[in-house]
Chains A and B, each alone.
Chain A
Amino acid sequence: MGGTVSANHDKANLLEVRGLTKIFGTLTACDHVDLNIAGGEIHALLGENGAGKSTLVKMLFGSLEPNSGEIFWDGQAVQITNPGVAKKLGIGMVFQHFSLFEALTAAENIALSLNDGSPISTIAAKARALSYSYGLPLDPESLVGDLSVGERQRIEIIRCLLQTPQLIILDEPTSVLTPQEADKLFETLERLRAEGKSILYISHRLEEVKRICDRATVLRHGKVVGHCNPRQETASSLARMMVGNEVKPVVRAPAEGIETAPALLEIRGLTRKPATPFAIPLKNINLRVRAGEVIGIAGVAGNGQGEFFESVSGEVLQQDAGSVRIRGKDAGGLSITGRRLMGAAFVPEERLGHGAAPRMKLSENLLLSRHATDGKSFVGSGGMVKNASVYSAAQRIITAMDVRKSAPDPEAAALSGGNLQKFIVGRELDRKPSVMVVNQPTWGVDAGAAAHIRQALIELARSGSAVLVISQDLDELFELTDAIAVMHNGELSAPLPIAEATFEKIGLLMGGAEPGHAEHTLETA
């Protein structure tokens, strides 16, 4: 069916994609994908992680070459062989992971990508004018390193708009924004639409897709499973299309007697100077996690969460031993191994290269975090590793967490992100730690696996452990936690019990408002 060249493609479509296919080895990342984008519409591309959204977009932007299929631009068949061609056609892209030089100013970063030899001052003036006209105020002279993530995204958007594209591709743009910043972005997108520009909006957040998108194309396992009007769908019907079946909801049993339970993890006046010029200093952080409860830390990425995790885990030691206390004892001067031996367990944000060594087998990755705590069962006399018992423990975790894999003991890098995350979380749960600190527990994990991980964390807490979850995903924190604190610019707010917390309150705190002065700060912001 993909073989016939059809001449009846619709002239009204700005972009038309027919049977686009991309194969990586044995994986068909995009399988005969069809997509039509009309002029002046916001078109959503929906799908779970690994559904093929990024692959499709990379082909549209010329960073990947399709194996087969056709692309029509304004009714003309085109071959987008590199991003330069895409830009010339009028396709602009704002990537999920920014490509900005922190040590340069916003204007210099823009000049680098324009590469047309015009002086920086001209570019800065243009960028400033454009940014204000679209309601995305930006100071082109400021150093990128000093800017928030939301402001950095503005640079990317302005940079894209300066090339006057007809089609703008946005890859997960709100994943780094506060709810208020996201609202601003939506206004800009609507203004662009009113000017007749088309937007391809990639997201897995269904509410915002319902809110701003005119049409949606849903991908699952590389195939288009449907086109729809998101406004006529419900979030759950969209989710069903994305996932393919219903996701079991997470159940959070009420926490009883928490007020009197002992604090298993205490952070008292934790302060840390920035280790690099662009790191966030931590300022007098206080937090207490009691046995039986799940505390969440919300915040826009890059507000000190990484620095905080390193300090709590012991990858970085504290001057003041009392600033981190585990099960009532000072742990600030102890290494990560020392803190693990006190009963704490940690799951970092990055899976490959931090939580797991990519080129090592799962059983070896089990040894990675548990060689000391399970020294007796995993390491024999003379430092010999007991491979058999490590292997069987790894298999136990694989079964318990339903880790799907292609070989009995594959390399970590061979697993999908969600399955590796299940293993990494399971590796720590298997120890039944009394303190568990998790950074971004379900980042990039599909809905089914995410529900599994969240449920497991709640059950760990209810069985008497203290669980601290750092996450950028507010939905996740509301589902998972008993109270939410917000980290902003290296400071941590007091935790808000989940019964009192709303998206708006948390969002204001994420934007830097003081608790209690929310309205006032909103006006000045």
Chain B
Amino acid sequence: MMRLELVKRPQRSALFSVLSPFIAFALTMIAGAVLFALLGVNPLEAFNIYFIQPVSEVWQLHELAIKAAPLILIAVGLSVCYRANIWNIGAEGQFILGGIFGSIIPVLFPQFEGPLVLPLMLLLGMVGGALYAAIPALLKTRFSTNEILTSLMLVYVAQLFLDWLVRGPWRDPQGHGFPQTIQFGDSAVLPELMPDAGRANWGFVFALVAAVAIWLMMSRMLKGFEVRVMGSSPRAGRFAGFGFSKMVFFTFLLSGALAGLAGISEVSGAIGQLQPVISPGYGFTAIIVAFLGRLNPLGIVAAGLVLALTYLGGEAVQSALGISDKVARVFQGMLLFFVLGCDTLIHYRIRLIGLAAPKLEAAPKLEEAR
């Protein structure tokens, strides 16, 4: 008889913190191959269509950047929350509120044009996301409510609020009854980076700048230190003089503002108006991005591109093979599942134990020397 045993490592393994996402990705591929095979599709062909073809031309890379930008922006903010052990699950709602706040100018004051419009929209988007994120923060600090539940439930409130807006007060009067606002004027549209090559807009640049800035904050600044202390040992954080409520508000406002910025960038850049649905679940997928990127802003950039590809691949297999694009959700779910599973390897090692092998235990393992 053999059994598997998890043995705690004396220190976290640096090797497996790096390897874990790759192992998870490999396991996702294997599980994905089984999935495609069960659907009666040749897995290799499906992988080609899913992962290779969507990024084989330059304009497609632009599409990838469009999908990756909101994921990265949101995930970078969420990573700060999660490092502080504060669980903002409602980025989807903050994204939507950012989109709505940012659209106030182009929808309600379409005659206001000029170079000031766009910066104001972006600012309002951030304010909208931050204000919406302040609700679970306030509830948590005042009434000790669980922020996971409140922030998640506020997502549905935001979705329904947007739905009501575009069907009711903000509906385009000339829109033949379609539930959407007027098209944004030229000065309210986020410009494309290289209009000749593809559709990618400034949102991707915002994402990269945010990633670098947050990386700097987390690794070099006192504020980042504060976040890490509060997340890993809250009591030591209190001893250091860091306030818990302040930290809750800081992380929620920061992640909310970044989600809001992602929201208005998406509305103003990729869509150009408000619709009943403005996000294919970016706020939730960004949670996977944050963890796949090891809660490290630079890792999140890479993870954001990977998850963006699952969206493009999902669309591609739908059109080429007739498989539902929900397969993208399946891939995202498997990836998160395997990432969280593989993270066990950072703190534990797996040992096979035969029932008659006590000698194996007596020999101290040398790998702890790292």
Contact = CB atoms under 8 A, between A and B. Distances in A.
Contacts of B358: 67-68
Interface residues of B, number: 27
Nearest to B362: A67
Contacts of A350: 235
Contacts of B241: 314, 335-337, 340, 371-372
B364 interface: yes
A358 interface: yes
B221 A384 contact: yes
Given A336-B241, A411-B11, A353 B233 contact: yes
Contacts of B243: 335
Nearest to A347: B239
Interface in A3-44: 21, 23-26
A26 B235 CA distance: 30
Contact of B221 (A348, A355, A360, A385): A385
B176 interface: no
B345 interface: no
Contacts, number: 87
Given A68-B362, A353-B235, A354-B239, A383 B229 contact: no
Interface string A334-374: 01110010000010101001111111100010011101100
A379 interface: yes
B225 A353 contact: no
A77 B112 CA distance: 91
Interface in B200-245: 220-223, 225, 228-229, 232-233, 235-241, 243
A368 B220 contact: no
Contacts of B221: 382-385
A315 interface: yes
Contacts of B220: 384-385, 387
A273 to B, nearest CB: 19
Interface string B1-27: 000000000111000000000000000
Nearest to A373: B241
B368 interface: yes
Given A315-B239, A360-B232, A369-B240, A385 B364 contact: no
Nearest to A350: B235
Contacts of B364: 23, 25-26
A368 B239 contact: yes
A414 interface: yes
Contact of B240 (A24, A371, A379, A411): A371
A357 B368 contact: no
Contacts of A335: 241, 243
A346 B12 CA distance: 30
Interface size class for chain A? 35 or more
B365 interface: yes
A385 B225 CA distance: 9
Contacts of B229: 357, 360, 368
Contacts of B57: none
Nearest to A23: B364
Interface string A469-498: 000000000000000000000000000000
B228 A383 contact: no
Taking each of B221, B225, B236, B369, which has the highest tally of chain A beta carbons within 10 Å of its own beta carbon?
A: B236
Contact of A368 (B236, B361, B365): B236
A336 B362 contact: no
A313 B239 CA distance: 8
A280 to B, nearest CB: 18
Contacts of B365: 25
A354 B235 contact: yes
Contacts of B237: 357
Given A68-B358, A355-B239, 17 more contacts: A25-B368, A26-B369, A313-B239, A340-B241, A353-B233, A354-B236, A354-B239, A355-B236, A357-B229, A357-B233, A359-B12, A359-B232, A359-B233, A372-B241, A383-B222, A383-B223, A385-B220
Interface of A: 21, 23-26, 67-68, 313-315, 335-337, 340, 346, 348, 350, 353-360, 364, 367-369, 371-372, 379, 382-385, 387, 411, 414
20 contacts: A25-B10, A25-B365, A67-B361, A67-B362, A68-B358, A313-B239, A315-B239, A336-B239, A336-B240, A340-B241, A354-B233, A358-B232, A360-B228, A364-B225, A368-B229, A368-B239, A369-B239, A385-B220, A385-B222, A411-B11
